[in-house]
Amino acid sequence: MIEQRKLRVAVLGGGSVGSQVASLLIAHGDELAARAGAVLEVVGVVVRNLDAPRDGDIPRELLTTDASALILQADIVVELIGGLEPARTLILEALNSGADVITANKALLATHGPELFEAAEQVGAQLHYEAAVGGAIPIIRPLRDSLAGDRVSRILGIVNGTTNYILDRMDVEGDTLENALAEATRLGYAEADPTADIEGFDAAQKAAILASLAFHTTVPLEAVHREGMTSVTLEQVVSARKAGYAVKLLAICERITDAATGVEGVTARVHPALVPLSHPLASVHGANNAVFVEAEAAGSLMFYGAGAGGIQTASAVLGDIVSAARRHVAGGPGVAESTQANLPVLPMSSVTTKYQITLTVVDEPGVLAAIATQFSDRGVSVEAVSQSVRDGGDEARPTATLVIVTHRAAESSLAATVTALAASPVVSSVVSVLRVEGQ
């Protein structure tokens, strides 16, 4: 039998994902070698503390604290440290030494992606990052390869499992946001400091990565409009369901034309939105993730699965390791990241969306006309209005609830309308303003 080629794999990071990746590489060695066309030898696992307890079965002698020394021995480097530094420096060291790099580090990719892709291209190495978005859900490769001949027009993604768990629990169990968050923390879905999830920072990083990939254009993290979901109330979730919607925190990437300037470009944003119950994203429950892609020729596609648990992320990382190994075996440089389209990245003010506005209004003749005028005066077109029966106020001044859904409107026009409504004598209060997506 011919001796099989051997490829040396260095794992940076001995946390949950790193331990599982190293353990599975060792445990499934023969199987993975057959698929990769080369033996994948784990040459070391870089940890901060050699004596810390860790998951999985990693032989003690593989543990090291010297990342730079280990990188020099490796054909494939797996970065699972997280954070910007030293991850960035170590990845650059690895790429410059000619190693292929696999990372799940969304913060780093969203912040320093172009620098890393450039470094990989310079030496003909390749940077893989299937695990950075959606855990084990294959979304990076489908966008980069399968849809490479198509034109993606829009991505709507539920890319943060923690916030989907919280919103789904509010919807299904009737929990308040505080209680649902407490439950998410208890179950380990939310971290001790949940800011990155609930304020949308995590989703914004993923939006930057998805938009860059889908539109072949570098979309910097700073260009992603971000609103968290801490302002979503149980009342909003309950009313949404009655009106035929689920509330989801969405990462939205769109190719649009600015109505004022005629400039065609791309946008990325993260905010809570109403999704019609008939839309496939409305059925994504618990901590699951899903990415809905609309493309010119392919039509609508959806990719669905568990979010980023340790074992799911390990699955995606192992797939990337096998892909990298196959390329090493085949020879030839890696495929460079495609950012040749260089479309302008447009600001949030270029975006138009539908809105649902809930108002408490004085229940008397002429009110609807007065309110409709506030919309039409600012060029916002109304798609649907529903008015409840008298449900508040007092005998002298009874009130009712009015729910208005607009056609697509610019944020500035909508904001001006809401300001005018709030000041109107027939409006008691503006209860809620939410964007509507997926229609």
The residues that are catalytic are 206
CA 119 to chain CA mean position, Å = 25
Rounded CA-CA distance 168/175 in Å is: 9
18 appears as a binding residue in the annotation? yes
Whose Cβ is closer to a copy of itself: residue 233's or residue 439's?
439
As to burial, measured by CB atoms within 10 angstroms (0-12 exposed, 13-18 middle, 19+ buried), residue 304 is: middle
Among 182, 302, 362, 382, binds a copy of itself (CB under 8 A): 302
Half-sphere exposure (CA, 13 Å, Cβ side) for 109? 29
299 appears as a binding residue in the annotation? no
* Residue 363-402 contact track with a copy of itself, rule CB under 8 A, x = bound: ----------------------------------------
Residue 293 sits at the vertex; the CA angle it makes with 322 and 262, to the nearest 5 degrees, is 125
Among 314, 346, 380, 414, binds a copy of itself (CB under 8 A): 314
CB atoms within 10 A of CB 94: 31
Using alpha carbons, select from 434, 436, 271 the residue that is nearest to residue 353.
Answer: 436
Most distant CA pair in the chain, distance? 95
28 binds a copy of itself (CB under 8 A): yes
- Helix ranges, 46-148 (H): 67-72, 87-96, 106-123, 140-141
Ramachandran sector of residue 438 (left: φ over 0; alpha: ψ -120 to 50; beta: rest): left
The two three-digit tokens of residue 312, written as one number: 């799911």
Residue 146 sits at the vertex; the CA angle it makes with 343 and 439, to the nearest 5 degrees, is 65
14 appears as a binding residue in the annotation? yes
Q: What's the min distance (Å) between Cβ of 63 and a copy of itself? A: 22
Among 36, 207, 346, 367, binds a copy of itself (CB under 8 A): 36
Footprint of a copy of itself on 198-217 (CB under 8 A): 216
Q: What's the min distance (Å) between Cβ of 183 and a copy of itself? A: 21
Footprint of a copy of itself on 54-73 (CB under 8 A): none
Among 89, 231, 283, 386, binds a copy of itself (CB under 8 A): 283
Asked if residues 356 and 364 have their Cβ atoms less than 8 Å apart, the reply is: no
16 appears as a binding residue in the annotation? yes
106 appears as a binding residue in the annotation? yes
* Residue 321-360 contact track with a copy of itself, rule CB under 8 A, x = bound: xxx--xx--xxxxxxx-x-xx-------------------
Among 97, 256, 303, 370, binds a copy of itself (CB under 8 A): 303
Whose Cβ is closer to a copy of itself: residue 231's or residue 278's?
278
Q: What's the min distance (Å) between Cβ of 139 and a copy of itself? A: 9
* Residue 121-150 contact track with a copy of itself, rule CB under 8 A, x = bound: ---x-----x----xxxx--xx--xxxxxx
CA 419 to chain CA mean position, Å = 31
Rounded CA-CA distance 380/373 in Å is: 10
134 appears as a binding residue in the annotation? no
Q: What's the min distance (Å) between Cβ of 285 and a copy of itself? A: 10
Instruction: For CA atoms 35, 38, 41, 47, give the dihedral sign.
Output: negative
Whose Cβ is closer to a copy of itself: residue 136's or residue 181's?
136
Among 5, 8, 88, 151, binds a copy of itself (CB under 8 A): 151
Residue 249 sits at the vertex; the CA angle it makes with 128 and 349, to the nearest 5 degrees, is 90
Q: What's the min distance (Å) between Cβ of 339 and a copy of itself? A: 9
Using alpha carbons, select from 141, 165, 119, 179 the residue that is nearest to residue 336.
Answer: 119
376 appears as a binding residue in the annotation? no
Binding residues for NADP(+): 12-19
Site residues (vs a copy of itself, CB under 8 A): 20, 24, 28, 31-32, 34-37, 124, 130, 135-138, 141-142, 145-151, 216, 280, 283, 295-306, 309, 311-312, 314-323, 326-327, 330-336, 338, 340-341
Report the binding-site residues for L-homoserine.
191
